[in-house]
């Protein structure tokens, strides 16, 4: 009898141990899922533009890869990144509305943005949302703007490149340019004027074109008539910049 009770007692202990291990495993799994955090990142760009579309495709490729490797490490914690995308259509007002949705509805704390930043910067600054942008605007560099960061060399690179050009081609003195009729296009035009003044050149023609332009033949004729020795363009992306050069 005592042997039977002992054997029965031993089986009960094994069963209890198995149940205990199973519960521990369940709790560990549940804890793991509970600790998994999500970091929402907003992205706004002109998705009808090759540059904006290209950046969107890049993010859509990189973020799943990052998440598959455990997510983004922040200190001792890891976050799965969720991308929230809006098309600003190259419009300041549309971009501002998109950022309002990102901040107040989607509750993002980080935004990747573009040259429309000046229209929505007050929103992100007031709500302490970090914005990383690609823009030639000097506004984002002002000391009072604490939550926005310039992610490119758009403010410094042109000076270096133009200085190299002026040094290596000192006989080229007249310049014409073609830029998008948008914030970044007008900034590029102002920057060109300053560069030419600094390096002893003369701007003979600056023409602006609507963002959706595909036929540059008439503008090219106008630029050729000014007889420049140098032609420059920027801000249209790989399609429009290429079309402007081809038209000339």
Give per-residue pLDDT as tens, 141-170: 899 999 999 887 666 788 899 999 999 999
CA angle 133, 162, 224 (to 5 degrees): 100
Residue 19 lies in a domain: no
Q: Is residue 122 domain-shared with residue 86, that is, in the same domain?
A: yes
Read off the tokens for 119.
Answer: 């229209």
Q: Is residue 136 domain-shared with residue 76, that is, in the same domain?
A: yes
**Beta partners for 108?**
none
So what's the pLDDT on residue 239? Answer: 82
Domain boundary, last residue among 150, 171, 203 = 150
So what's the pLDDT on residue 236? Answer: 82
So what's the pLDDT on residue 13? Answer: 52
Number of domains in the chain: 2
Q: Is the pLDDT of residue 41 over 50?
A: yes
* Residue showing tokens 């050149």: 201
Q: Is the pLDDT of residue 1 over 60?
A: no
Give per-residue pLDDT as tens, 98-124: 999 999 999 999 999 998 999 999 999
- Residues 88-94 have a mean pLDDT of 91
So what's the pLDDT on residue 183? Answer: 80
Q: Is residue 67 domain-shared with residue 146, that is, in the same domain?
A: yes
Residue 17 lies in a domain: no
Tell me the average pLDDT of the chain: 85
Distance in angstroms (rounded) separating the CA atoms of residues 11 and 17: 10
- Residues 127-153 have a mean pLDDT of 88
| CA-only gyration radius of the chain, Å | 29
Domain containing residue 209: 157-247
Q: Is the pLDDT of residue 175 over 80?
A: yes
State how beta strands 37-45 and 148-150 pair. unpaired
Read off the tokens for 231.
Answer: 């032609």
- Residues 194-211 have a mean pLDDT of 94
Q: Is residue 46 domain-shared with residue 146, that is, in the same domain?
A: yes
Q: Is residue 40 domain-shared with residue 95, that is, in the same domain?
A: yes
Distance in angstroms (rounded) separating the CA atoms of residues 84 and 197: 43
Whole-structure pTM value: 0.69
Q: Is residue 209 domain-shared with residue 166, that is, in the same domain?
A: yes
């Amino acid at each position: 009898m005592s042997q039977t009770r002992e054997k029965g007692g031993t089986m009960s202990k094994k069963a209890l141990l198995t149940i205990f291990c199973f519960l521990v495993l369940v709790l560990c799994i549940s804890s793991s899922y509970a600790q998994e955090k999500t970091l929402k990142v907003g992205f706004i760009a002109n998705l009808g533009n090759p540059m904006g579309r290209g950046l969107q495709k890049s993010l859509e490729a990189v973020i799943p890869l990052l998440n598959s490797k455990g997510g983004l490490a922040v200190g001792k914690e890891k976050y799965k990144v969720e991308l929230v995308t809006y098309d600003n259509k190259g419009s300041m007002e549309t971009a501002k509305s998109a950022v309002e949705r990102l901040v107040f509805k989607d509750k993002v704390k980080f935004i990747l943005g573009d040259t429309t930043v000046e229209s929505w910067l007050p929103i992100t600054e007031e709500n302490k949302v970090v914005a990383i942008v690609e823009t030639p605007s000097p506004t984002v560099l002002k000391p009072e703007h604490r939550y926005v960061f310039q992610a490119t060399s758009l403010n410094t690179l042109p000076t270096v490149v133009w200085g190299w050009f002026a040094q290596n081609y000192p006989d080229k003195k007249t310049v014409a340019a073609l830029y998008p009729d948008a914030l970044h296009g007008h900034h590029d035009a102002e920057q060109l004027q300053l560069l030419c003044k600094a390096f002893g050149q003369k701007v003979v023609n600056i023409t602006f074109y609507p963002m959706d332009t595909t036929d540059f033949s008439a503008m090219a004729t106008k630029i050729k008539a000014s007889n420049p020795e140098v032609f420059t363009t920027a801000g249209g992306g790989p399609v429009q910049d290429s079309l402007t050069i081809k038209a000339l």
